[in-house]
Amino acid sequence: MVSWRDKVIFLLILLPALLSFMPARAAETLSLSEAIEMAEKKSFGVESSAYDSAAAMYNYRAARSMRYPSLALAARSSYVDNVPEIGFAPGSTMELGTEDIYQADFTLSLPLYTGGRISSQIKINSENLRAGTFALEAERLKSAYDSRRAYLHVLLAEAGVLAAEASLERVDIIRRDVHSLYDSGLADSIDILETELAHEKTQLAVDEKRTSAANSMINLALILALPPDTELKLTEKITPPRGEISKTDESVQIDRAELKMLDSRIRAADYLSRLNSAEYFPTVSGFAGYSYGKPNRDFFNADWEDYWVAGLTLNWSLNLGGKTSHNINSVKQTAKSTRMLRNDTERALVIRAETSVENIKLAYRTVVTSKREFDIAGQKYRLADNKQKSGLLTVNRLLEIEAELTAAEQQYRASIINYYLARTEYLYAVGSEQIYGGL
* Residue 409 within a domain: yes
* Choice among 98-107, 267-276, 369-378, 391-400 with the minimum mean pLDDT: 391-400
Q: Is the pLDDT of residue 125 over 60?
A: yes
Residue 288 near residue 108 (C-beta atoms within 8 A): yes
Handedness of CA 181, 183, 185, 191 (dihedral sign): positive
* Choice among 22-31, 210-219, 275-284 with the minimum mean pLDDT: 22-31
pLDDT (tens digit, 9 = 90+) per residue, 273-313? Answer: 999 999 899 999 999 999 998 887 776 677 888 889 999 99
- Mean pLDDT across 145-162: 90
Residue 310 β-bridge partners: 288
pLDDT of residue 243: 65
Q: Is the pLDDT of residue 438 over 90?
A: no
pLDDT (tens digit, 9 = 90+) per residue, 222-271? Answer: 999 888 888 888 888 888 887 655 444 445 678 889 999 999 999 999 99
If we measure between CA atoms, which residue out of 361, 288, 355, 370 comes closest to residue 105?
A: 288
* Choice among 78-82, 103-107, 139-143 with the minimum mean pLDDT: 78-82
CA distance 355 to 429: 10
DSSP string, 260-317: HHHHHHHHHHHHHHHHHHGGGS-EEEEEEEEEEEES-S-TTS---EEEEEEEEEEE--
* Residue 293 within a domain: no
pLDDT of residue 138: 93
* Residue 329 within a domain: no
Q: How many structural domains is the chain composed of?
A: 1
Higher-confidence residue of 144 and 179: namely 144
CA distance 260 to 281: 33
Q: Is the pLDDT of residue 15 over 50?
A: no
* Choice among 8-12, 169-173, 296-300, 366-370 with the minimum mean pLDDT: 8-12
pLDDT (tens digit, 9 = 90+) per residue, 353-367? Answer: 889 998 999 999 999
pLDDT of residue 254: 84
What whole-number percentage of the chain has pLDDT above 90?
A: 42
| Interacting residues of 243 by C-beta distance below 8 A, sequence separation 6+ | none
* Residue 348 within a domain: yes
Q: Is the pLDDT of residue 180 over 70?
A: yes
pLDDT of residue 388: 79
pLDDT of residue 333: 92
Domain containing residue 122: 27-68+118-279+343-436
pLDDT of residue 251: 57
Residue 402 near residue 381 (C-beta atoms within 8 A): yes
- Mean pLDDT across 330-338: 91
Residue 329 binned pLDDT confidence (cut-offs 50, 70, 90): very high
CATH number at residue 124: 1.20.1600.10
Regarding pTM above 0.85, the answer is: no
* Residue 161 within a domain: yes
CA distance 264 to 272: 12
Q: What mean pLDDT value characterizes the chain?
A: 85
| Interacting residues of 301 by C-beta distance below 8 A, sequence separation 6+ | 295
Higher-confidence residue of 395 and 431: namely 431
- Mean pLDDT across 403-426: 89
Burial letters 290-309, b for 16+ CB under 10 A, else e: ebebbbbeeeeebeeeeeee
Tell me whether strands 232-234 and 28-30 are parallel, antiparallel or unpaired.
parallel
CA distance 275 to 280: 10
Number of other residues whose CB lies within 10 A of the CB of residue 413:
22
pLDDT of residue 419: 92
Alpha-carbon distances, residue 250 vs 243, 279, 357 (angstroms): 15, 50, 10
What whole-number percentage of the chain has pLDDT above 70?
A: 90
pLDDT of residue 294: 85
pLDDT of residue 13: 53
pLDDT of residue 27: 65
What is the spatial order of strands in the sheet that 283-294 belongs to?
A: 70-79, 100-113, 283-294, 305-315
pLDDT (tens digit, 9 = 90+) per residue, 111-120? Answer: 999 989 999 9
* Residue 318 within a domain: no
* Residue 96 within a domain: no
pLDDT of residue 248: 44
Does 16 sit behind a cis peptide bond, omega within 30 degrees of 0 on the bond before it? Answer: no
* Residue 144 within a domain: yes
Reduce the DSSP state of residue 89 to 3 states and report it: strand
Q: Is the pLDDT of residue 110 over 80?
A: yes
DSSP class of 95: E
pLDDT of residue 131: 94
